[in-house]
């Protein structure tokens, strides 16, 4: 009789214990790794959106400068080529966990940043270009986009720092080994030499 009672109470115990187990897993950080990963991926999407925004501005900027400074063909061609290289780099969800692919993306964007800096710097030699309303509007939009890129990169770097730290520290590393072995550390942005030496442009 007692055995029958014990078996009857077993489902009840399981139902009672499940919420407690779920609460334990939640409170001890079991869900942190996938949560932080999704947050970092969202920040990465913001970065890509801002770089795309910048890329979309470049053709009109190049055409505007060309109308006033055709003799600067070398600079104009360099910007166009850098944009083509940057947009040809394949970027997907795996890029942020692939050091080689991430570096390729970052280097292409850094090269484009340097070329853009040189393009905008030549406007100092052309007063008419500097006062052109279309150029001023594009310059202002580009400045705003560069600021958005800086913010998006900063937010991404912080999100990746939190995610990577969770993978390396207790109890996150334990959950990573037991349940999230396929989750890889994500790459962070670094300051490239080409960015450090790019001309300073006053907007």
Count Cβ atoms within 10 A of the Cβ of residue 194 and give its class: 0-12 exposed, 13-18 middle, 19 or more buried.
middle
Q: Is the peptide bond before 171 cis (omega within 30 degrees of 0)?
A: yes
Give the pair of three-digit tokens for residue 48: 């890509």
Euclidean distance between CA atoms 153 and 52, whole angstroms? 14
Per-residue pLDDT of 41-79, as tens digits, reads: 999 999 999 999 999 999 999 999 999 998 999 999 999
Contact 152, 50 (CB under 8 A): yes
- Using a pLDDT cut of 70, give the percent of the chain over it: 80
End-to-end CA distance of the chain: 87
Give the pair of three-digit tokens for residue 174: 């334990």
Among the listed residues 7, 25, 70, the one whose alpha carbon sits nearest the alpha carbon of residue 62: 70
Euclidean distance between CA atoms 158 and 165, whole angstroms? 11
Confidence at residue 34, expressed as pLDDT on a 0 to 100 scale: 96
Weakly modelled stretches of the chain, pLDDT under 70: 1-28, 191-203
Per-residue CA distances from 126 to 7, 118, 134 (Å): 89, 14, 14
Which residues, 6 or more positions from 142, have their beta carbon under 8 angstroms from its beta carbon?
Answer: 54, 57, 61, 116, 120, 203
pTM: 0.81
**Distance of alpha carbon 57 from the chain centroid:** 19
Residue corresponding to tokens 């991926």? 41
Contact 68, 132 (CB under 8 A): yes
Euclidean distance between CA atoms 84 and 101, whole angstroms? 17
Euclidean distance between CA atoms 25 and 49, whole angstroms? 35
Confidence at residue 165, expressed as pLDDT on a 0 to 100 scale: 97
């Amino acid at each position: 009789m007692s055995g029958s009672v014990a078996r009857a109470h077993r489902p009840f115990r399981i139902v009672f214990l499940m919420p407690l187990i779920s609460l334990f897993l939640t409170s001890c950080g079991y869900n942190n790794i996938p949560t932080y990963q999704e947050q970092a991926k969202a920040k990465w999407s913001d970065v890509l959106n801002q770089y795309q925004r910048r890329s979309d501005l470049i053709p009109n900027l190049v055409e505007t400068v060309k109308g006033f400074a055709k003799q600067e063909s070398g600079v104009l061609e360099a910007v166009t080529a850098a944009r083509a290289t940057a947009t040809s780099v394949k970027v997907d969800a795996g890029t942020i966990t692939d050091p080689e692919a991430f570096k390729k993306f970052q280097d292409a964007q850094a090269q484009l940043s340097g070329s853009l800096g040189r393009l905008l710097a030549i406007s100092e030699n052309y007063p008419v270009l500097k006062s052109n309303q279309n150029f001023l509007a594009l310059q202002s939009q580009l400045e705003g986009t560069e600021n958005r890129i800086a913010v998006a990169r900063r937010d991404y770097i912080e999100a990746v720092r939190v995610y990577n730290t969770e993978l390396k520290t207790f109890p996150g590393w334990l959950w990573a080994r037991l349940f999230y072995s396929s989750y890889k550390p994500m790459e962070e942005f670094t300051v490239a030499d080409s960015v450090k030496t790019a001309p300073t442009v006053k907007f």
